[in-house]
Structure 1
Amino acid sequence: MDIPAVSDSSWTESVRPKFHGSARAMFPVVLKGLFLTIITLGIYRFWYMTNVRRFLWNNTEVDGDFLEYTGRGVELFIGFLIAVAVLVPFYAMLFLAPLYMGAEAAAVAQGLYGFALLLLAQYALYRARRYRLTRTIWRGVRFQQSGSGWGYAWRSLLWLILTVLTLGLAYPWMRAGLERYKMTNTWYGDQQGAFSATGGQLFWRTLLVWLAALVVIGGPIAFVAGMEATGNIGAASPAHALILVSVIGFIVLVPVYWAVEFRWWANGCSVGPAAAACDLGNFAFFKVYLGYLGVALLFGLVVGAIGLGIGFALHSGGVLEGMAAQARPPVVFFVAFGAFYFLVGLVFAALWQVFGVRPIWRKSFESCEIRGLGALMAAQSVTPEANAFGEGIADAIDFGGF
């Protein structure tokens, strides 16, 4: 492809992406997905997930042009069905091993099963990323991912073993190594990605967070464990207060760590001549989680009030006394309870999409400036689009994120 000449200023000009998706605009997408997921007993969730992604992608503007998401719900559904068929032998071995083997042989078989499942999960995450990239288009050019899913899986597993052996000290270098493998196999058309951040940079930038976690989270847990070992925990002991301190510390420090790690990651990413510069604040994600917790708490109070009202009505009508007199509660009680639990869980998930995923997506993009974007010229990739098999495996074993 002939690349037209560009001015030097196109290499230094910065472009900051914008996100235009409001909570009000996202509510209909979420409510529709919630309703159809309920009445289809969960089957519609593949289309629901696709519609949420399309909302996020298609409302993200980069230099005057919007991202496009071309994935389809039926692709995720078929990928899930294929993944379930592949995983059936694994689950069968896990179930049958204790029945037809001795205790030691069954333990070995289950250990091998866990090892294989962990390896398969890493393979699935890499393939799922490839699927999402090949369904992402900007300015008519599709993203792509090369590399081997199994190669990534084995790298992940070896890095994980090293991280465990070093009591977590190797984690920053694991993140850097795996991200470098992913980004060097990322393409925008014929323009290759790169990753320049190092494990040492991540280590020093997150060291204070780790030390704070050691004091605020690890310290109280160790103290309470010591009190339990000596039998000194009583009603007047500070154990409960220390546990509360650990929980609050976890809620605060985890999103802070994610923000620092995201800034490190974004500043190391580039595609062709275009590179990112991120200024995300340390507490940006914490504010999002705090807002979501407030909304979730409000919803929980409403659900609790409704539950109390239903319970009072059943008690006033003598229904609860009649059920207590029976040897076994009626089946309709369990069905109603299960449906209510399912509904509440889906609503919490929907609230997370609107008040969690959406603002995190917005803050992540809008905190980055892209330099050299004017010099990024790419020809359309001729590599075929990836299938959704990796997404299906990750979903079937409940591993991986959005």
Structure 2
Amino acid sequence: MAYDGSRFGIGGLFLKTMLLSVVTLGIYNFWGRTQIRRAIWGAVSVDGEPFEYTGTGKELFFGFLKAIALLISIGLALFVIGWVGGMLARSRIGLLLASLAFYLIVAALAVAAVYLATRYRLSRTLWRGIRFGLDGTAGRFVLGTIGYSLLTVATLGICLPLLRTWQARTIVNNARYGTVPFRMEARGAKLIWPWILTMLLAGPTLGIMLVWYRVREFRYWSSTISIAGLRLDGRLRLGQVLGPAILLAVITIAIFAALLVPSIVAAVEAARTHAPPPATSTVMILGIWAYVALAPTIGFVILGHPVLKASCETMAIGGALDLEAVAQSSDAGPRTGEGLFALLDGGGL
């Protein structure tokens, strides 16, 4: 497996997408995101054959509009129900319950959106002319996520590996290449003790243990994935991720310190001298906004590119795939893009 993408070439696409999205009030984001995916997909290859992304900005845009219409419809329906109920009961409890119901429904839709977005992306991903796909239902994914989330909360976060591994296993076991299904055998229980150790040492190690855990999780997950005789074996090492992660953290902290420290010092001085509090610095506000806008570009150049490259180049694939046994699936996937997930994914892929 190989990755030959250009760090600054793809990083430039992130920057271009951000700038044109600002000019077009966010509309260009869908077309820019499509360009980024085509560049990254095409830079990743297996056995010398690159992947291909066939999605379009139009599909993403119309999926986004459908999500907006759905949220507005749900919000208006619940508002009317809550208002009528409150009028009948002569209380504001109806609107409060309607607001709670809206947030709960949006949370469930957000989980479903992750599954549906994965289905869309796989259906637009090809290798050697054969597209990938995702079967199963988003409803089952939502119900399972709710159950494991409640278990995670009840155990004060200890069972988070059960939740994350179940989600990953559900998606992989419903994925297929053409008509050939994938198989993932990972069990979250094997990651419980590494996660407990991470929870205990994340603070003292300034977050380094979190990076260690994610690398360990990735290696374990990938080592349990197979498809038609092929078996993956991820060999990513902590050092390949830790350096870029620390560099990104240092740059982020330095930028925010440079923006915030002068305002904090001015506020402390004003409090000491009983002077009126200083006005919020325009430079600070613009600086924070600029960094947030540039975060996807900076994140890819510093962290995303090296980690993607290392993940691909350390991924061993054993066995042999009989391509003659792989047939093109009749399921072409959803007609439009990721919908609600586009609202949640920010500047990501």
TM-score above 0.5, yes or no:
yes
Aligned position for 2:222: 266
1:291 corresponds, among 230, 247, 264, to: 247
1:210 corresponds, among 177, 199, 212, to: 199
Any idea what SS the aligned residue of 1:67 has?
strand
Assess, with a 3 A threshold, how the Cα gap between structure 1 residues 146 and 22 changes in structure 2: closer, same or farther: same
Q: CA RMSD in A?
A: 3.3
- State the aligned residue count: 328
> Max radius of gyration: which structure?
1
1:395 pairs with 2:342: yes
2:319 corresponds, among 346, 369, 372, to: 372
Aligned position for 2:273: none
369-378 vs 58-67, which moves further: 369-378
- Equivalent residue runs for 1:127-276 within 5 Å: 127-213=116-202, 216=203, 249=206, 251-276=207-232
1:382 pairs with 2:338: no
1:35 pairs with 2:35: no
Any idea what SS the aligned residue of 1:379 has?
coil
TM-score by length of structure 2 reads: 0.82
Q: Give me the whole-angstrom Cα distance separating, in 1, the residues matched to 2:297 and 2:256.
A: 14
AA aligned to 2:130 is V
Unaligned runs of 5+ in 1: 1-16, 217-244, 309-323
Q: Give me the whole-angstrom Cα distance separating, in 2, the residues matched to 1:303 and 1:207.
A: 35
279-288 vs 42-51, which moves further: 279-288
1:104 positional shift: 3.5
1:149 positional shift: 1.2
Aligned position for 2:303: 356
Any idea what SS the aligned residue of 1:143 has?
strand
Q: Is the 8 A contact 2:82 2:97 kept in 1?
A: no
Assess, with a 3 A threshold, how the Cα gap between structure 1 residues 152 and 27 changes in structure 2: closer, same or farther: closer
1:367 positional shift: 2.3
AA aligned to 2:310 is K
1:212 positional shift: 1.9
TM-score by length of structure 1 reads: 0.72
Q: Is the 8 A contact 2:83 2:94 kept in 1?
A: no
Aligned position for 1:5: none
1:284 positional shift: 3.4
AA aligned to 1:372 is G
1:110 pairs with 2:99: yes
Unaligned runs of 5+ in 2: 264-278
AA aligned to 2:47 is D
Assess, with a 3 A threshold, how the Cα gap between structure 1 residues 360 and 163 changes in structure 2: closer, same or farther: same
AA aligned to 2:93 is E
Higher relative contact order (CA 8 A, sep 6+): 1
1:86 positional shift: 0.5
Residue-by-residue CA offset, 1:189-236 (whole Å, 9 max, x unaligned): 1110111111222224434223323xx3xxxxxxxxxxxxxxxxxxxx
Q: Give me the whole-angstrom Cα distance separating, in 1, the residues matched to 2:236 and 2:290.
A: 35
AA aligned to 1:351 is I
Assess, with a 3 A threshold, how the Cα gap between structure 1 residues 348 and 93 changes in structure 2: closer, same or farther: same
Residue-by-residue CA offset, 1:288-307 (whole Å, 9 max, x unaligned): 22232345467668989xx9
Q: Give me the whole-angstrom Cα distance separating, in 1, the residues matched to 2:159 and 2:9.
A: 43
Any idea what SS the aligned residue of 1:61 has?
strand
